[in-house]
Amino acid sequence: MNRTLRVTAGVFATSAALLAASVPAGAVSFKVDAIMKNDLKIHTAPGTPLVLGGSSFDYPLVLAAETQWNSDIHKSNVLAPDLSNKSGLGRSNMISKAYAIGFSDFPLNQVAGSPDVGPGSSNPGLKVSDFAQVPVALGGEAVTYHFGTGISGSTAALLKKYPLTLSGPTLGRIFAGKVTNWDAKEISRENPHLVSKGKDLLPNLGIQVMSRTAGSGTTFILRGYLNRVDHADYPTVDSSNFSAAGSNQFANSGLLEQAVQSTNGAIGYVEFGYAIANSSPTISLINKSGKIVSLSEAGIVQAATVGLKAIIANKGCKGFKTTVLACYEINNELGKTVYPIAGFSYGMIYKTQTNRTDAIAEVKFLDFLSHQGGRKSKATTFGQDLADANGYAPMPVSIQAVARAVLLGVKVSGHAVLNATD
């Protein structure tokens, strides 16, 4: 039976002390403005529920926000989630209008080799500029593994005390099929706590790589990291599956995580929330500053903080005023506490719409999802307030502002949708 991730408020809850220590000043906003208050009011519901779909990276957060939003506006038939598949379907089904909102971990202008729109694509009459692409989630990716019966009791005890650790280049070589056994010298060198009296306690066990099928945004974020740390094996950033994966490819993160945790010697990659929900063992990484870090909300926030400072300094990106979403990559940033595999994900809709009722619901939900209200009451609980309880970090206020700016460009009959009161 396939395991299904069930998101429950508080499952991934982070303590108030950790949040206070990890979220930098100015990273979050607790002001509920007039537009956000209006986001809770849908006076005329769409004729049929709006279908949302795509990225498994977004699934826990979007599902929690969708539940909260429907509850607040007392319209249980406004949204119909079809989530936890992959970014490629999020984009293509949004373009074909099978989805009202598509979710993807890589935006339209970053698809290498097989563009969704423009010359040479299946949609040559469409341009990237025809779409509003809204940052909605900030998260990290866990590298999970499973030794199962392939290790001794003493090794299992040590792994509970000391995390299995890998550098970026070694991780890259594993996924490239160049490191094929768990007791390989590269892995042993990075885990001296698993060598006792000259004896390697790592198992003589073949590595079974588990990956997502092509088109996965989760793969895109990981490959973006590997491109930075192992450029020889990953000279480009795209959504391709890994060459070492063979037939071990899965359509969504839930299926991949299930496969990893039932296969001796397996390694795979899933979103933070999936790993936490399933109590999966995760690999700590050696970051750009040479420090060993485990996946945490604090490490994700620090990746965003450092990465966004670099974006501000990049004149080509014009601070946060640009809608060139390639500017928002935050993989492998420098910093002692930075977790190196992190990224933003996006909700996508058509920028020019014809159905006013549907457009208002789409835009209001994306604005609700991409902002914080402070969670002082039900009326001030918005999408980003639910981030830390579902395996994400709240997006910095600068990125929340980017989301608002993008949504202000969505129009029906030449008029902006976001301020509509329908």
The answer as to whether 31 is a domain residue is yes
Average pLDDT over every residue of 336-351: 95
Q: In CATH, what number is assigned to the domain containing residue 220?
A: 3.40.190.10
Beta-carbon contacts of 94 under 8 Å, excluding residues fewer than 6 positions away, are 54, 100, 101, 102, 131, 348, 349, 350
Is the domain of 155 the same as that of 76?
Answer: no
pLDDT band at 325 (very low <50, low <70, confident <90, very high): low
Q: Please state the domain count of the chain.
A: 2
Is the domain of 156 the same as that of 274?
Answer: yes
- Report which secondary-structure segment, H or E, holds 308: helix 297-313
* Cβ neighbour number for residue 379 with a 10 Å cutoff: 12
The answer as to whether 339 is a domain residue is yes
Is the domain of 124 the same as that of 166?
Answer: no
Is the domain of 46 the same as that of 164?
Answer: no
The answer as to whether 244 is a domain residue is yes
How far apart (Å, rounded) are the C-alpha atoms in residues 339 and 115? Answer: 30
The predicted structure's pLDDT at residue 12: 26
- Report which of 329, 330, 326 is spatially closest to residue 300, judged by C-alpha positions: 330
Q: What is the DSSP string of 331-365?
A: TT---TT--SSEEEEEEEEESEES-HHHHHHHHHH
The answer as to whether 5 is a domain residue is no
**271, 301, 331 - which closes a domain:** 301
Is the domain of 147 the same as that of 292?
Answer: yes
pLDDT band at 73 (very low <50, low <70, confident <90, very high): low
Is the domain of 126 the same as that of 147?
Answer: no
The answer as to whether 318 is a domain residue is no
The pTM for the full model equals 0.85
Is the domain of 293 the same as that of 145?
Answer: yes
Is the domain of 390 the same as that of 412?
Answer: yes
How far apart (Å, rounded) are the C-alpha atoms in residues 279 and 146? Answer: 12
The answer as to whether 233 is a domain residue is yes
Q: Per residue in 349-407, pLDDT tens?
A: 999 999 999 999 999 999 999 999 998 888 899 999 999 888 899 998 888 988 998 99
Q: How far, CA to CA in Å, does 236 sit from each of 114, 220, 226, 230?
A: 14, 10, 9, 11
The predicted structure's pLDDT at residue 318: 58
pLDDT band at 155 (very low <50, low <70, confident <90, very high): confident
- Report which of 403, 394, 392, 382 is spatially closest to residue 320, judged by C-alpha positions: 403
Q: Does residue 4 register a pLDDT over 80?
A: no
Q: Per residue in 208-235, pLDDT tens?
A: 999 998 888 889 899 989 999 999 999 8
Is the domain of 131 the same as that of 146?
Answer: no
**246, 266, 301 - which closes a domain:** 301
Q: How far apart are the first and last CA of the chain?
A: 44
Under 8 Å between Cβ of 183 and 203: yes
Is the domain of 275 the same as that of 347?
Answer: no
The answer as to whether 314 is a domain residue is no
Range of the domain at 38: 16-137+323-416
- Report which secondary-structure segment, H or E, holds 61: helix 59-73
The predicted structure's pLDDT at residue 16: 26
Q: Per residue in 274-291, pLDDT tens?
A: 888 788 899 999 999 999
Q: Does residue 93 register a pLDDT over 90?
A: yes
Q: Helix (H, G, I), strand (E, B), or coil: what is residue 290?
A: coil
Task: Describe the crossing of helices 397-407 and 356-369 by its angle, rounded to 10 degrees.
Answer: 170
Task: Describe the crossing of helices 59-73 and 356-369 by its angle, rounded to 10 degrees.
Answer: 120
Is the domain of 89 the same as that of 173?
Answer: no
How far apart (Å, rounded) are the C-alpha atoms in residues 74 and 373? Answer: 19
The answer as to whether 6 is a domain residue is no
Q: Per residue in 160-177, pLDDT tens?
A: 888 999 999 999 999 999
Beta-carbon contacts of 292 under 8 Å, excluding residues fewer than 6 positions away, are 163, 165, 284, 285, 286
pLDDT band at 197 (very low <50, low <70, confident <90, very high): low
Is the domain of 343 the same as that of 375?
Answer: yes
